[in-house]
Amino acid sequence: MSVKTGIPGMDELTDGGFPEGTINLISGPAGSAKTLFGLQYIYKGFMEYGEKGLFLSLEESRDNLTRASKSFGMDFDQFKGTNDIQLIDFGEIRKEIELQEDIDYGIVSLRNLLDFILQTIKETGAKRLLIDSISAVGLYYSDIDEFRRELFRFCRILKDHDITTILITEASQSGDTRFGIEQFISDSIIVLDYENVEGEYRRTLTIYKMRFTRHDPYKHPFLITKQGIEIDHVETIY
């Protein structure tokens, strides 16, 4: 079974979407449209395919996200108070659940994050999960080995649940293809970028890896239109 992203051009690059139950990494530098990709995945998921979604933001406030979404014709406010789509600013949740951790806004351990996710999907029946970003979670850990261990555990447990996940991760700069430890635990790696192609500024998307399915390996241009990301799945960039 494939989980359609609903993003124009994206599902044509794979066998119709993400294989169900997988963990998919979206990587790219700041401004490369990672958050927008995630918003579309969750929004379309419900509007077009009737799948409930959970969007966990660790970087941007709910207000910022709903405002940005509106400029692309996506109205997340209509889901307020429903289980259809939960758009959650984890920084606010953290205050409510009064975690005993004296740390900065939005920073949370993987254990706390997982507890919250499992409880929420049990309550709502969400089928799509987005975490923006896993890099923000990494800030909690001063010991990289501990982060690695916890991330393995986190992903293993997530995979026991019937949910298809996008993890967003920040690349340090454009063209950076070192993904850090997230790459080992994810089933797929999708890189968003922007670059100068023969004097022209182009946004690009490349699927580097996707387990359990065939996928297009080439770099494709995409546009940000009034409806959001639109990928040209025919044209390639070398």
In the block, residue with structure tokens 């507890």:
115
Helix (H, G, I), strand (E, B) or coil at 57: strand
Q: Of 33 and 129, which has the nearer Cβ to ligand ADP?
A: 33
Judged by CB under 5 A, the residue of 35, 40, 57, 169 near Mg ion is: 35
Size of the site for Mg ion (CB under 5 A): 1
| Partner touching 217 among Mg ion, ligand ADP, none, CB below 5 to 8 Å by kind | none
32 binds, among Mg ion, ligand ADP, none (CB under 5 to 8 A by kind): ligand ADP
Looking up tokens 């080995």, which residue turns up? 145
Closest separation in Å from C-beta 71 to ligand ADP: 4
User: Applying CB under 6 A, which residues contact ligand ADP?
Assistant: 28, 30-36, 71, 224
* Ranges assigned E (strand) in the chain: 2-3, 18-19, 23-28, 53-57, 85-89, 128-132, 164-170, 188-197, 200-210, 219-225, 228-231
CB of 12 to Mg ion, least distance (A): 25
Min. distance of Cβ 228 from ligand ADP in angstroms? 9
For CA atoms 143, 149, 152, 154, the dihedral sign is negative
* Smallest distance from Mg ion to CB 30, Å: 7
d(CA 39, CA 162): 20
The residue among 62, 43, 61 whose CA lies nearest residue 52 is: 43
Nearer to ligand ADP, 201 or 238 (CB): 201
- Judged by the rule CB under 5 A, the positions of this chain that interact with Mg ion are 35
